[in-house]
């Protein structure tokens, strides 16, 4: 058995008081709901009510995804989480040449306000919290959501939810960026300012380590690079003239939960503590909500196997338990069949039921931070904090997250970790049940959920009708106003909203900004 943690830190066989020499419980722990928030951002945590139970869903057309959302709501989910297809994530319409073969494949295709109306048809947007996993065109999808809500008679002040809007991690690990970093930061900070005025209950960004972890980042790297990106966003917003205590309370975070239960619990606790100290000591934040690292967690898709997929039910349950014991505010549990295809309805329901069993059949909601004071847990939390701080210092020494990204630092570090993990699995040093140990010679056939191959043609036809029926002159005027704002210093979201209201497509809006801001090419692209 490997005696080290996933991050390569020393794992003691036995922990005792010596592991916590010179440990100050008041400084390191505090009380739940108080600085430094090690024990949770709220005093009562789940003793008051459980976390928000989200299920990430979206595929094919808006009509198909809307049907899945109604199924999940009927099954008891308390928050929606929207998956968009690759063309939407990259700012292309479904009929664009670069979209060919990808429409509706990994999420739902959204080209215009027409699609957004269908996606949230008969869903009361003043009663549901919606998270949208979208980054480079995040502002567009958020504005489309607001426009549909307004058509329902719902004011922006009533809307709750989150838009991921974290483009820095796209340069590091995922790749769905459009504009260069500084222009992307402009769009994000404009979103902060817009939401302060128009969507005051909306979480303006979900600073994400999940995708870095899926690419191979260790828990320490995940925390360090995520918080370094968060620091970059805070600096950019302050530089744009915004007050830290006005925008910071709406920042949210998104991390993974792996099967390494103890280290994952410690990771969440360490991340909260680091962020609280950074916000108070570096940025002078005084509003307690500015210091809180409010967290959404998703179980680790990268750890799911196509071999013996039912074993993934066990993995997801352990990962979900780690997230709950670590104090998450919302949770998505992956479906057991996701390593094979889009989740089936049954698998998605089982994933939700996993959360419901944890919330209503176990006793983990009866006390706050049950691991507090554990020799092992507090030592692991301190170790992760120290290692993450050291890595964050390396990023700072390069000039911050953007400068480090431009040098390829985070990407190189994560790729080295991913390669080491692959070597361990291939050699058998890292056991993956059903993959390299405890295998079976034959498995029952599994019929995956398959996408409709006609979706691309359907979306192209809808776009043709939209362009024929709308006021083209008004669209052109609105896109021109958007470009004028992009060239200057005005908030670009206001003219962007008017363009979308006039039925400009997602691709047209993104192209208008591409003409002004250009597109990003990574350092290793040539």
Confidence of residue 525 (pLDDT cuts 50, 70, 90): very low
Q: What is the pLDDT of residue 77?
A: 86
Within-domain flag for 202:
yes
Do 184 and 123 share a structural domain? yes
Last residue of a domain, one of 402, 427, 452: 427
Tokens of 472: 């083209």
The 10 Å Cβ neighbour count of residue 465 is 10
Within-domain flag for 488:
yes
Question: Per mean pLDDT, which range of 21-35, 92-106, 181-195, 196-210 is the poorest?
Answer: 21-35
Provide the CA 308 distance to its chain's centre, in angstroms: 28
For residue 143, what are the domain limits?
47-427
Confidence of residue 251 (pLDDT cuts 50, 70, 90): very high
Beta carbons of 37 and 276 less than 8 angstroms apart: yes
Confidence of residue 441 (pLDDT cuts 50, 70, 90): confident
The overall average pLDDT reported for the chain is 94
pLDDT beyond 90 at 79: no
Handedness of CA 243, 246, 250, 253 (dihedral sign): positive
Confidence of residue 446 (pLDDT cuts 50, 70, 90): low
Do 54 and 168 share a structural domain? yes
Name 200's Cβ contacts closer than 8 Å, sequence gap at least 6.
Answer: 156, 157
Do 497 and 403 share a structural domain? no
pLDDT beyond 70 at 313: yes
Q: By three-state DSSP, how is residue 205 classified?
A: strand
State how many domains the chain has.
2
pLDDT beyond 60 at 526: no
Within-domain flag for 40:
no
pLDDT beyond 70 at 1: no
- The predicted model gives 311-332 an average pLDDT of 97
Which DSSP helix (H) or strand (E) runs through 257?
A: strand 251-257
- The predicted model gives 325-338 an average pLDDT of 96
Q: By three-state DSSP, how is residue 14 classified?
A: coil
Q: What is the pLDDT of residue 449?
A: 62
Q: What is the pLDDT of residue 26?
A: 77
Within-domain flag for 14:
no
Do 290 and 159 share a structural domain? yes
Do 263 and 158 share a structural domain? yes
The whole-model pTM stands at 0.94
* 282-304 per-position pLDDT tens digit: 999 999 999 999 999 999 999 99
Tokens of 406: 């431009």
Phi, psi of 153 (to 5 degrees): 85, 15
Q: What is the pLDDT of residue 524?
A: 63
* 87-132 per-position pLDDT tens digit: 999 999 999 999 999 999 989 999 999 999 999 999 999 999 999 9
Tokens of 497: 């909203």
C-alpha distances (whole Å) from 437 to each of 14, 260, 329, 428 are 28, 18, 35, 8
Within-domain flag for 422:
yes
Do 507 and 401 share a structural domain? no
Within-domain flag for 384:
yes
Last residue of a domain, one of 365, 396, 427: 427
β-pair partners for 331: 53, 297
CATH code for the domain in which residue 271 is found? 3.20.20.240
Question: Per mean pLDDT, which range of 27-36, 72-81, 277-286 is the poorest?
Answer: 72-81
Within-domain flag for 343:
yes
- The CA distance from 10 to 374, in Å, is 17
The 10 Å Cβ neighbour count of residue 185 is 21
Which one-letter DSSP state was computed for residue 60?
B
- The CA distance from 302 to 34, in Å, is 34
Percent of the chain whose pLDDT exceeds 90: 88
| Angle subtended at Cα 182 by Cα 178 and Cα 188, rounded to the nearest 5 degrees | 75
pLDDT beyond 70 at 451: no
* 141-165 per-position pLDDT tens digit: 999 999 999 999 999 999 999 999 9
Tokens of 315: 């993995």
Last residue of a domain, one of 392, 427, 462: 427
Tokens of 299: 């179980």
Do 477 and 401 share a structural domain? no
- The CA distance from 12 to 18, in Å, is 11
- The predicted model gives 53-79 an average pLDDT of 90
* 458-510 per-position pLDDT tens digit: 999 999 999 999 999 999 999 999 999 999 999 999 999 999 999 999 999 99
Do 303 and 160 share a structural domain? yes
Within-domain flag for 103:
yes
Do 260 and 173 share a structural domain? yes
């Amino acid at each position: 058995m490997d005696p080290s943690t996933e991050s390569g830190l020393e794992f003691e066989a036995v922990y005792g008081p010596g592991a916590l020499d010179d440990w100050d419980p008041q400084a390191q722990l505090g009380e739940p709901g108080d600085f430094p928030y090690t024990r949770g951002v709220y005093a009562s945590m789940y003793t008051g009510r459980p976390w928000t139970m989200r299920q990430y869903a979206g595929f094919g057309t808006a009509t198909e995804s809307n049907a899945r959302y109604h199924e999940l709501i009927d099954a008891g989910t308390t928050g929606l989480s929207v998956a968009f297809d690759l063309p939407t994530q990259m700012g292309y319409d479904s009929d664009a040449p670069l979209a060919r073969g990808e429409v509706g494949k990994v999420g739902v295709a959204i080209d215009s306000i027409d699609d957004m109306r269908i996606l949230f048809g008969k869903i009361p947007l003043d009663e549901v919290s919606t998270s949208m996993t979208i980054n480079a065109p995040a502002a567009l999808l958020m504005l489309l959501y607001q426009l549909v809500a307004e058509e329902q008679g719902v004011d922006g002040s009533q809307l709750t939810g989150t838009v991921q809007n974290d483009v820095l991690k796209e340069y590091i690990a995922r790749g769905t960026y459009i504009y260069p970093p500084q222009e992307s930061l402009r769009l994000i900070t404009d979103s902060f300012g817009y939401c302060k005025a128009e969507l005051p209950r909306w979480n303006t960004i979900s600073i994400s380590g999940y995708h870095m972890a899926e690419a191979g980042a260790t828990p320490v790297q995940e925390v360090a690079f995520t918080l370094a990106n968060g620091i970059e966003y805070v600096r950019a917003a302050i530089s744009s003239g915004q007050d830290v205590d006005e925008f910071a309370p709406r920042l949210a975070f998104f991390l993974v939960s792996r099967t390494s239960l103890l280290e994952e619990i410690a990771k969440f606790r360490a991340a909260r503590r680091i962020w609280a100290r950074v916000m108070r000591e570096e940025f002078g934040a005084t509003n307690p909500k500015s210091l809180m690292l409010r967290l959404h967690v998703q179980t680790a898709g990268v750890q799911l196997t196509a071999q013996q997929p039912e074993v993934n039910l066990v993995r997801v349950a352990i990962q979900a338990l780690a997230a709950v014991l670590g104090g998450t505010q919302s949770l998505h549990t992956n479906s057991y069949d996701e390593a094979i295809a889009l989740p089936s309805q049954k698998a998605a329901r089982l994933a939700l039921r996993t959360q419901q069993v944890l919330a209503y059949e176990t006793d983990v909601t009866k006390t706050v931070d049950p691991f507090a004071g554990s020799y092992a847990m507090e030592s692991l939390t301190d170790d992760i904090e120290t290692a993450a701080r050291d890595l964050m210092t390396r990023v700072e020494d390069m000039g911050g997250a953007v400068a480090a990204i431009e040098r390829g630092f985070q990407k190189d570090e994560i790729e080295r970790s991913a390669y080491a993990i692959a070597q361990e699995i291939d050699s058998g040093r890292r056991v993956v049940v059903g993959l390299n140990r405890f295998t079976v010679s034959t498995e029952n056939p599994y019929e995956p959920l398959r996408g409709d191959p006609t979706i691309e043609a359907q979306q192209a036809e809808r776009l043709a009708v939209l362009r024929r029926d709308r006021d083209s002159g008004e669209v052109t005027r609105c896109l021109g106003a958007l470009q004028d704002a992009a060239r200057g210093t005005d908030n670009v979201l206001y003219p962007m909203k008017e363009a979308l209201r006039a039925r400009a497509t997602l691709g047209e809006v993104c192209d208008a900004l591409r003409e002004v801001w250009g597109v990003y090419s990574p350092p290793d692209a040539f």
